[in-house]
Structure 1
Amino acid sequence: MARFLFTTWEGGGHVQPMLLVARDLAARGHAVLALSDPCNAPDAAALGVPFRAWTTAPFQSGKTRDDDRLRDHEADNPLAVIQRLLDRVMAGPALAYARDTLAAINAFAPDVIVSQELLLGPMAAAEARGLPLALLAANVWSLPTLPGAPPFGAGMLPAASDEERGMHAMVSQMSRTFFQAGLPDLNAARAALDLPPLKDLFEQLDAAKAILVATSKAFDFAPEPLPAPFVHVGPYLADPAWVESFTPPPGDAPLVLVSFSSLYQAQEPVLRAVIAALGQLPVRGVVTTGPTIDPAAFDAPDNVVVVRSAPHGDLLKDAALFVTHAGHGSTLRPLMAGVPLLCLPMGRDQNDNAARVTHRGAGLTLPADSAPDTIAAAARRLLDEPAFKTATEVLGAAIRADEAARDAAAALEALAP
């Protein structure tokens, strides 16, 4: 038996996958402990994963709009988003995250540290104690450190020419340069831990013996095979603990499921536009707002129901269309169920996920500020043209195969002494 300490933060869809990996290790006889924001304690408890909360590091006690400390929806350009990540997650609080991780190490005595890829503080703590470190990314890789992958953020397709490869390299280098603004804070944290300074912020990731990318290689645009220490380990997806039971509206009309981010991204306008669009169509609409938005804030036509949550795993069995912001879990789960997607990305990894969907013919992408008539027209195409359903079933079958073969637990066991 080995002991594994998992460190993550309340960043939405990456929490549940990490807890699922921890649960798998526990089922194999290992001891696990999840270190995260207090608001994630119920998710850990639902999976039987022992939990410890951040105390010195920034944390969220709830999942409401007011609890969100990143507030990246307020940033008006990509550089501002990066600066918020640096100041509020990656570098600014690195020493606080490291100190909480060291306290957990003292109490739990882990053999391996497993960190979410943006938490540099726990990585430095593992380095300071000489413990094996793995990174777990529950999405397509988001940092400019993976050769051969399209730059993250803009929804770029794989390079098809030397000119495009050169452009990708330039964009990646620019992104890497932007992140160096966090280097002074990271080096200050490292100095407090008696670690030498780094010349590049991303050198901190070099402490990891393995970087586990928890998505489907059939879905991803990354090179195959991935260069070491990267490895695809398959997707880890499930309904979160806060989801409540729900009975879909009766009838024979196609069921259209709508779900945007579980975090706040100022998604009220796009939700209102989608609701109005569904009101123009002969469908049964179910809109889930998530924990950050009150369903009562929306007026809906008779054929649309707006609720805070519903079990997507059950509803997707009967759904004909999924309308989404294209977060990682909200993209892969419909694909695995053979349900075409209408993507209206709003930032983060969403443009990249939407690009992977449309490139394979499994859906359509529109701007998040599209008018109801435009959304309704796209939804009609996806419901009426069988090519979308066919392409979705092909891609979904490949993703299901990757899920069936997922092996993050085995990859982590290989790191244990």
Structure 2
Amino acid sequence: MSKSFLFATWSGGGAVPPTLSVARALRDRGHDVRVLADRSLHDEVTAAGVRPVAWTTAPQGDITDPAKDIIRDFEARTPLGAFARLRDRIACGPAADYARDTMAELRARRADVLVADFTLLGALTAGEAAGVRVASLGTTLYPIPSPGAPPFGPGLAPAGGPLGRLRDRVLMKVIVTPWAKGLPPLNAARAAHGLPPVKSVVDAFGRADRFLVLSPRALDYPGRRFPARVRHVGPRLDDPAWAGELELPGGQAPLALVGLSSTYMNQRAPLERIARALGTLPVRGLMTTGPAVDPATIPAPGNVLVTASAPHRAALRHAAVTITHAGHGTVVKSLAAGVPLVCVPLGRDQAEVARRVEIAGAGVVMRRSASPRAIARTVGRVLDDPSYRRQAGRLAAEIAAETSTDRAVIELEELAGRPIA
């Protein structure tokens, strides 16, 4: 029997394609699916074959224009400042607005399950108040504190012994404490919908019936332990609808795929340095700037093709190395193709993703300020050392096993009460 699913997402760049991939898969199974989303995403939602529904009072963003970006974390001077923008502009500050819009849609049209981006605590609040089953969707590594992993954010390697445990306890307080400023608006949204307050924002992340992690379990730390409601359901490898057709640079030299975020993160200078570095190497470069950076503004040598977009999954069939900001989507697509990486984190969750790649032996991490000479030397090392490709291949096999069945769809159908066919 067909079930009804309401998704809730926002203009968050790389989080959108995997979310819409799950929505499309449910539609293909015969379910009724609609997506609450910013108007700037409606063409992409429609391209996925599901119905878009507009937020009415919640924030509206557009990643193709930095001036219309909701969080504008590229303006923050510190990682804490960038975090505060996510807290105040998405997760907690507008929680009442997201809750109001989600509740209105749930009242207008029934849903058996609400599937919301885990950052949209207001939407999750509405689902809890409406009494429907609720699934949080995490489109990156599981970011909530859990045993066996250091505090999420700085990109630290796991530490053992008394000093390591002390480090983690101190940093955990530093990282969790700033969430307290988001608690009053979140609890106000809960009160407006007849729900009791939560003791902390971190507690609020744990109230959904399921937390589906769209990330390879093999990429996270082996000894990490997760709450029972958390399910690793494997990554989604679909390219966004706007990716276009694949055009490769000419020649037969090894292909280096370059992509530094589909949103604006002040990445023009790193892109220029990477282009100069590739100009000194016997490679072909395919550089995608994303919708927020004009490719014409990136000077590039003759062996580097610069374009706004390209289907990365198709390009990776030809690639020998990926140079990336370590956005989760680009990393997992590269690993699924067995392609090693040079990671240049710019912010957000990227230091964490890059650290996992490095610990797995499938790539190298560099500073965003690295010189063209240092970048060229590192890219050459990754190309010349077969161990990086060997470890990327190991992860590719594990990702293939994880994605051999659509675990996200299975979990959501079970949550809706539909037996698995």
TM bracket, shorter-chain basis: over 0.9
| Residues 158, 62 of structure 1: alpha-carbon distance in 2 compared, 3 angstrom cutoff | closer
1:3-50 per-position Cα deviation (integer Å, ceiling 9, x unaligned): 111111111111111111111222222211111111211222222121
Partners of 1:262 and 1:129 lie apart in 2 by 34
Verify the 8 A CA contact 1:65 1:293 in the aligned structure 2: no
The farther-off stretch of 390-399 and 85-94 is 390-399
Q: What is the rounded CA distance, in whole Å, between the counterparts of 1:399 and 1:224 in structure 2?
A: 18
Q: Which residue of 2 aligns with 1:257?
A: 257
Indicate conservation of the 8 Å contact 1:277/1:375, yes or no.
Answer: yes
Question: Conserved in 2, the CA contact under 8 Å of 1:234 and 1:405?
Answer: no
Aligned to 2:123: 122
Return the letter of the residue paired with 2:87.
Answer: L
Change (3 A) 1:355 1:61: closer
Deviation at 1:162, TM superposition (A): 4.1
Which stretch of structure 1 is more off in the superposition, 321-330 or 168-177?
Answer: 168-177
Segments of 5+ residues of structure 1 without an aligned counterpart are none
Q: Distance in 2 between matches of 1:412 and 1:225?
A: 22
Q: Give SS of 2:322's match.
A: strand
Quote the offset at 1:225 in angstroms.
5.8
Aligned to 2:289: 289
Question: What TM-score does the superposition give when structure 1 sets the normalisation length?
Answer: 0.96
Cα distance in 1 for partners of 2:224, 2:364 equals 26
Match of 1:156 in 2: 156
Give the deviation of 1:146 after TM superposition: 2.7
Cα distance in structure 2, aligned partners of 1:51 and 1:222:
38
CA contact (8 A) 2:63 2:292 kept: no
SS of 2:415's equivalent in the other structure is: coil
CA-CA distance at 1:90 after TM superposition: 0.9
Q: What SS does structure 2 have at the residue aligned with 1:44?
A: helix
Aligned partner of residue 347 in structure 1, secondary structure: coil
Q: Percent identity?
A: 44
Contact persistence 2:5–2:115 (CA under 8 A):
yes
3-state secondary structure, aligned to 2:102: helix
Give, in whole Å, the separation in 1 of the partners of 2:149 and 2:392. 23
Query: For 1:132-171, what aligned pairs fall within 5 Å after superposition?
Result: 132-143=133-144, 145-171=145-171
Change (3 A) 1:224 1:27: farther
Aligned partner of 2:186: which letter? Answer: L
Following superposition, the deviation at residue 222 of structure 1 comes to: 6.4
CA displacement at 1:216 relative to structure 2: 0.4
Residue 271 (structure 1) aligned with residue 271 (structure 2): yes
**Matched residue SS, 1:176:** helix
Q: CA RMSD in A?
A: 1.5
Distance 2:351 2:205 in 1: 25
Deviation at 1:93, TM superposition (A): 0.6
AA at the equivalent of 2:299: D
Are positions 1:28 and 2:29 aligned together?
yes
- In structure 1, how many angstroms separate the alpha carbons of the residues matched to 2:188 and 2:222? 33
Paired residues for 1:34-113 under 5 Å: 34-61=35-62, 63-113=64-114
Distance (Å, rounded) in 2 between the aligned partners of 1:220 and 1:209: 22
Tell me how far 1:171 sits from its aligned partner. Answer: 1.8
In 1: Cα distance, 2:115 partner to 2:209 partner: 10
The residue aligned with 1:385 is 385
Q: Deviations over 1:93-131 (max 9, x none)?
A: 111101110111122210111111111101111121111
Question: In structure 1, what is the equivalent of residue 371 of structure 2?
Answer: 371
Residue type of the partner of 1:195?
L
Whether the aligned pair in 1 keeps the contact of 2:135 and 2:212 (CA below 8 Å) is yes
Q: Say whether 1:2 aligns with 2:3.
A: yes
SS class of match (2:77): coil
CA distance in structure 2 between the partners assigned to 1:25 and 1:335 by the alignment: 25
Which deviates the most, 191-200 or 239-248? 191-200
Report the equivalent of 1:335: 335
Q: How many residues align?
A: 416
CA contact (8 A) 2:118 2:138 kept: yes
Question: Does structure 1 residue 280 correspond to structure 2 residue 276?
Answer: no
Q: Is the 8 A contact 2:11 2:62 kept in 1?
A: no
1:256 touches 1:283 (CA, 8 Å); kept in 2?
A: yes
Offset at 1:135? Answer: 0.4
The alpha carbon displacement at 1:2 in A equals 1.6
**Cα deviation, residue 378, structure 1:** 0.4
CA deviation string 1:172-219 (max 9, x = no partner): 233221101101111222222222222212232333111111100111
Letter in 1 for 2:51: P
For the residues of structure 2 that align with 1:151 and 1:294, how far apart are their CA atoms? 36
- Find the aligned partners of 1:287 and 1:330 in 2 and give their Cα distance: 13
Tell me by how many angstroms 1:233 deviates: 0.7
Aligned residues of 2:63 and 2:263 also touching (Cα < 8 A): no
> What residue number does 2:216 align with?
216
1:209 touches 1:229 (CA, 8 Å); kept in 2?
Answer: yes
Partner of 1:305: 305
Amino acid corresponding to residue 66 of structure 2 in structure 1: R
Letter in 1 for 2:67: D
Query: Does the 8 A contact of 1:217 with 1:234 survive in 2?
Result: yes
What one-letter code is carried by the residue in structure 2 that aligns with 1:337? A
Identify the residue that residue 247 of structure 1 maps to in structure 2.
Answer: 247
1:324 Cα deviation from its structure 2 partner: 0.4
C-alpha separation between the residues in 1 aligned to 2:166 and 2:210? 28
CA distance in 2, matches of 1:247, 1:209: 43
